Amino acid sequence: MDSKFPNQLFPHFYLDGPPDVKSKHSYGGWGSYERVFAVNAGPCDGDQSSIQHVFESQHTLSGEEWVPVKPAVTPLIPPNEDAKASSGVLPDPRDFPEHMQYFYQRHCMDAFSTMGHLLQDNLSFKKKQPKDVMSMRWANSFIKGLNYKRCELACYSMKIRHLHHLVGDIVSDVPPSLLASLLHEELTSQREQKRFCADATGGALGYVPLHESRGYSDGCLIYPSGGAMDKLNIHRVVQQFCDDKPPSFVMDSQPFVYYLNGTVRQISLANMEDVGNVAVRSDYFCGVWLLGDKTKPLLMDVIQTKDRFSCITVSPHLPNELAVVNERGAAYLWTVKKGLQKFREEDSNLYFNAKSPWRWCEFSSHPRVMVYADRTGAELTDMRSADSNHTLFRIGRTAACMSGERVILAKYLSKSHAHHHLINTQFSTYVMDERVPSVPMLKWDHMMESPPMFACDLPAQTPRQTCKLLLGAQRSQELMLLQYTGGREHVCQTRGSIQKLLSPKESLSHLNLLLPHKRHLAQKRLNVPAAGFTAVQKKDYLSVFQLTETGDIFYQTLKLHTDQTASNNDAPEQSVSVQPTVETGESENMQSHTDNDDQSVQSDSETEGRRAALRHLEVIDNVDNDDLNTLDTNENIRKEPSNHLIGNNPSCSSIPPNPSKDPDLQAAWNKWFKPIFKKAKKRHPNFRRIRTDYLKGMMGKKLNKPKEDRLMRLRKDLQEVMRKKEMLLHGVTYLPHLNVTPVPDPVDPDDWPDDVSQRLAASWEGQWTFWWEEKLGLNRDKKIAALRRKRRRAKQAKARNRTSLSGSFTSSVSYQESLSGLSTVGSQCLGSGDETLENSSSQATDMEEWRARPEIHSKSPIILRRFLNEQSTAEKSFGSPRKSPTRPDQDLLTSPSSIQVERPASRTPSVAAGMDLNPPASLPSTRPTTVQSKRRKEFYLSSLPTSQISTQDPAPDGGYSSQRVRLSSPTPSHRSLSSQRVPQFRSLSQASQPKKKSRMGF
């Protein structure tokens, strides 16, 4: 059937040239149909074209639904005891000083021994030393000086500096500069290596089915173990399955073990006939075993070279035939016991220089045609004739590649379709048909975090089912399930959207909480990169085995969710879904005896993150958010806090709360963790413990009855409250009253009238820009507009109230006047500011001028203050309409901030409330200040025209550089100060004028 070819392919551009699209996001795998065509169109069935056209898309929506049976992966074999789990943190090359420090401190003999020997004769630690030997007394201070790590030169002792200059570059055996650069290089390469290590491509885990009968099937799991992953294990597994239960795996007691001379990098398997080949790749050698149902595994052949191998593949067509490639680019056909036959050698990359020695080799549908791949693409090479290569895939615009995209893995999908090949890049997955080279039949954006280095194909078991592709990543342990159909009579189509399967590192969140140090250990162990995976499908169950770099194997089982199962089993797929509901999240916290904050423990598991986020979504109900913008939405939320989340998330209601965790799973994990924790314990015999047992005992004995009752009740209350998602108030409980320490008096910004404090106060309230605008007068136009609007409104209101014609007439006159006055303000205020600043340079001033020319008030603050002090008594006697200030200077200097009329509204209410509650007796209350500010505002505005007039006469030296003006312009508060100060006097004299009164409405 594989010989058929679809009679129509989806339209596709064929373009030359390198890719030019940059990847912008990794969400490309969703929401697209890609291409569409009508199935029953065309000349062949043109006669039936009266029926409506049926369209098919390249990406289709419906696929098989696979649901994990358990919420987390299950360990299959006991942990690999020799393995060392490296921390998942990538080494940072910029950390090299710390590494150097560590080296100098912990390996001082290696670092300084040579020089130490040389200096031995001339330095001594003894107190009494011969004359020519230096004592170590100064050396002590020397060492003390070394503690000052920050700055070596500004040092403790002169001697160090001298010594440093003298011997700094020779005292260590390896010159620090050389060592540092080498270390940096090494760390960089280590980081690269850790992030992406191509050696493991292909994966080192295999499953060979051997024998099948009713109820169980026999197979072999092949995996490496040991500290360096150099033990090859061939382990028999019996898979038992009943109709309605997921299959279970029973491992043989002892595997066949082979000790190899290097780390197992890749395991490749052939189709099993009676016997089958198992090929193992290590860096410098490869081996082939023969595996059969009835026989012991048999080592067939080993090859060894000086060049590293990068790939080994067992032929799916012929037994005892393999293909190997080394990093020099030579590809060989290896016939077991007959030796290698080179069929291709490339000393450069295929299509462009990708600077990568990685090569790959796969078989194709013809036993003598091979796929030769590197980072830039893949070619089909015919072994029978030289130079008959043609492109199967290349990184380029035809495949719609991104720039920087590289081939990560190529795989011949012999089981799914005889002509199909899988090409993985870090962004996408392609299915290529070798009959239509270079145009992908299918393309997915797999959306994985790290590139997929492992792949596994599961053929469709019946023609109606889908072919499944599983992709595995190394570092992130991700596993993706992709489904597609077609390639024969029908064109290839993807089915459903990509599904992510469980990975070992997420499993902790589905188990009982561990003590922090154990949790840390477990996390470290589970977070290691993956080293391979394999999958087995049995009817409606799909089992996936995952191997991590520490040699641990985990498995998970997925069940095909069909309509039938839905009707059989009332609970929808969510009953076994991974998603934890909020309830379980909380109950889990309750159960846990450790007071462990999930969020503080850094956890990679995203389910946990999701739970935290869900919690957060709820918490928002209680967030007291007084930003005007959100006030209404918050009110809405508050109205229906109980169903807020449910309303937004309908699945919550449909999902039954996750039942208590799977006990089998927990038991399996507990068993698995045991040796790990035990080993860790051995390693730290001096672990300091604080005994708390007696505390517990005391509590049990000495608690009297009522107290216990109270606690019980409190506990119950707490649970109740948590269920209802409410708040528990202290007053409701029966606890003893708390000693409420009063909140310290709030700082009144008016107490701190200086500019900096005012600015800080403004910026604390988020009004920093506004303050500056206010200060610089940038928002004057706006204010004027506002004022004008207000006037107009007031006028209209008045006009409505007023009955007499004359009244309206006067008011309109005053309005006109005020308008004309204001219109000049905007243009002239800046000018006046400049001039006052210029004035400030002239020192000849006296009290008369102070009174006459208000602008000069903005001179130096000292003068101003002196003046004000003198004036304080005078002001009192004036009997100003405002309150009599005890500290007039403070009162005046606050004005720049209090000029913001809108400010009280924007202040956070908590502060405002606090101020309202406890008005400090000594300070002026806030309310008067607002009134004041209003008044001042009005004075300020009214004074502007006059000030403008008066500024025209002074300033004979207008030739000041503009730069200076600009520099000093950020402090024009003096101007407003002056303008407020003066009207105070003027208002007294002009108080009777009706014109001013009309402005009071502001």
Partner 1 sequence: MDDIETELNIAAAAADSREDEGRNHVPIKPAVLLHQSHPDPRGLFTAADFLKSNRKCLNLIREAMLRHNWQEAACYFSSYIQTLEVQTLSQVFPASEITWRLGTEILHHVPNSSIDDFNAFYEQLKNFGVRNYSKICLEHCFHLLLNKQMDEAKRQLSIADSWRYGKQSTAQSLMKKLIRAYCGYLDYLIWSEKKPSAPDSEEAGNNHEMRTYFRQASVTLKDIVSQPGVWDPFVLSYIHMLEFYEDEEAALQVLENYAYNKEFPLNPNAHVYLYQFLKRHQAPQAKLIGSLRILHSLVPSHELMLELCSLLMHTKQKSDREEALAVSMDLLEFSSWKCDMKAWKCLLEIMNKLKKKKCMDAVKKEWDVRRSLWLSLHYRSYNGRKDSRENVQLLMVKRDVLRITDENNREYFRIALKIERESKPKKERLRKRKERMVTKVKEKKKKTLND
What character string, x for contact with partner 1 (CB under 8 A) and - otherwise, covers 489-528? --------xxxx----------------------------
Among 151, 628, 874, 917, binds partner 1 (CB under 8 A): 628
CA atoms within 13 A on the CB side of 717: 15
CA–CA separation, 735 and 718 (whole Å): 13
Kind of pairing, strands 59-60 and 493-500?
parallel
**Residues in contact with 814: Cβ distance below 8 Å, sequence separation at least 6, in sequence order:** 994, 995, 998
Among 114, 356, 577, 872, binds partner 1 (CB under 8 A): 577
Is residue 285 within 8 A of residue 261, CB to CB? The reply is yes
CB of 984 to partner 1, least distance (A): 35
Is residue 334 within 8 A of residue 323, CB to CB? The reply is yes
Q: For residue 163, how many other CB atoms are within 10 A of its CB? A: 17
CB of 48 to partner 1, least distance (A): 9
| Site for partner 1 contains 273 (CB under 8 A) | yes
Closer of 21 and 515 to partner 1 (Cβ): 21
Among 462, 629, 961, 992, binds partner 1 (CB under 8 A): 629
Q: Which of residues 595-614 bind partner 1 (CB under 8 A)?
A: 606-607, 609-610, 613
| Site for partner 1 contains 213 (CB under 8 A) | no
| Site for partner 1 contains 389 (CB under 8 A) | no
Closer of 110 and 781 to partner 1 (Cβ): 781
Among 102, 764, 809, 878, binds partner 1 (CB under 8 A): 764
Is residue 755 within 8 A of residue 973, CB to CB? The reply is yes
Q: Which of residues 659-718 bind partner 1 (CB under 8 A)?
A: none
CA–CA separation, 837 and 138 (whole Å): 61
Buried (b) or exposed (e) across 353-383, using 16+ Cβ within 10 A? ebeebbbbbbbbbeeebbbbbbbbbbbbbbb
Element (H, E) at 197: none
CB of 590 to partner 1, least distance (A): 24
Q: Which of residues 632-651 bind partner 1 (CB under 8 A)?
A: 633, 636-637, 643-644, 647-651
CA atoms within 13 A on the CB side of 281: 28
CB of 617 to partner 1, least distance (A): 6
CB of 369 to partner 1, least distance (A): 9
CB of 312 to partner 1, least distance (A): 20
| Site for partner 1 contains 5 (CB under 8 A) | yes
Among 33, 734, 809, 878, binds partner 1 (CB under 8 A): 33
Among 108, 143, 257, 623, binds partner 1 (CB under 8 A): 623
Q: Which of residues 291-330 bind partner 1 (CB under 8 A)?
A: 316-319
Kind of pairing, strands 377-382 and 389-394?
antiparallel
| Site for partner 1 contains 71 (CB under 8 A) | no
Q: Which of residues 441-460 bind partner 1 (CB under 8 A)?
A: 447
Closer of 106 and 616 to partner 1 (Cβ): 616
| Site for partner 1 contains 12 (CB under 8 A) | yes
Segment lying near partner 1 (by CB under 8 A), choices 79-87, 630-638, 704-712, 913-921: 630-638
Closer of 215 and 647 to partner 1 (Cβ): 647
CB of 316 to partner 1, least distance (A): 7
| Site for partner 1 contains 437 (CB under 8 A) | yes
| Site for partner 1 contains 852 (CB under 8 A) | no
| Site for partner 1 contains 439 (CB under 8 A) | yes
Task: Tell me the backbone φ, ψ of residue 479, rounded to 5 degrees.
Answer: -130, 125
CB of 69 to partner 1, least distance (A): 14
Is residue 62 within 8 A of residue 45, CB to CB? The reply is no
Task: Tell me the backbone φ, ψ of residue 124, rounded to 5 degrees.
Answer: -145, 155
| Site for partner 1 contains 31 (CB under 8 A) | yes
Selection from 783, 846, 750, 731 nearest residue 1002 by Cα: 783
Closer of 132 and 273 to partner 1 (Cβ): 273
Please report, as a single letter, which amino acid is at residue 732. V
Selection from 381, 543, 392 nearest residue 456 by Cα: 543
496: region left, alpha or beta (phi > 0 left; psi from -120 to 50 alpha):
left
Closer of 125 and 764 to partner 1 (Cβ): 764
Selection from 544, 560, 379 nearest residue 457 by Cα: 544
CA–CA separation, 372 and 310 (whole Å): 12
Kind of pairing, strands 377-382 and 309-314?
unpaired
| Site for partner 1 contains 768 (CB under 8 A) | no
Closer of 252 and 765 to partner 1 (Cβ): 765
Over its C-alpha atoms, the chain yields an Rg (Å, rounded) of 41
Tokens of 993: 């004028």
CA–CA separation, 320 and 335 (whole Å): 6
| Site for partner 1 contains 13 (CB under 8 A) | yes
Selection from 543, 509, 557 nearest residue 661 by Cα: 509
Selection from 217, 223, 247, 226 nearest residue 235 by Cα: 223
CB of 294 to partner 1, least distance (A): 15
Among 78, 179, 310, 398, binds partner 1 (CB under 8 A): 398
Is residue 290 within 8 A of residue 300, CB to CB? The reply is yes
Closer of 648 and 992 to partner 1 (Cβ): 648
Please report, as a single letter, which amino acid is at residue 612. A
Closer of 164 and 368 to partner 1 (Cβ): 368
Please report, as a single letter, which amino acid is at residue 426. Q
User: What DSSP designation does 767 have?
Assistant: -
Q: Which of residues 900-929 bind partner 1 (CB under 8 A)?
A: 908
What character string, x for contact with partner 1 (CB under 8 A) and - otherwise, covers 400-419? --------------x---xx
Buried (b) or exposed (e) across 294-310, using 16+ Cβ within 10 A? eeebeeebebebeeebb
Q: Which of residues 354-383 bind partner 1 (CB under 8 A)?
A: 365-368
Is residue 546 within 8 A of residue 559, CB to CB? The reply is no
CB of 243 to partner 1, least distance (A): 25
| Site for partner 1 contains 148 (CB under 8 A) | no
Segment lying near partner 1 (by CB under 8 A), choices 118-126, 437-445, 674-682, 808-816: 437-445
What character string, x for contact with partner 1 (CB under 8 A) and - otherwise, covers 34-53? -xxxx--xxx--xx-xx-xx
Among 10, 484, 669, 672, binds partner 1 (CB under 8 A): 10
The footprint of partner 1 on this chain (CB under 8 A) covers a number of residues equal to 98
Q: Which of residues 779-808 bind partner 1 (CB under 8 A)?
A: none
| Site for partner 1 contains 435 (CB under 8 A) | yes
| Site for partner 1 contains 858 (CB under 8 A) | no
Buried (b) or exposed (e) across 864-875, using 16+ Cβ within 10 A? beebbeebbeeb
CB of 963 to partner 1, least distance (A): 33
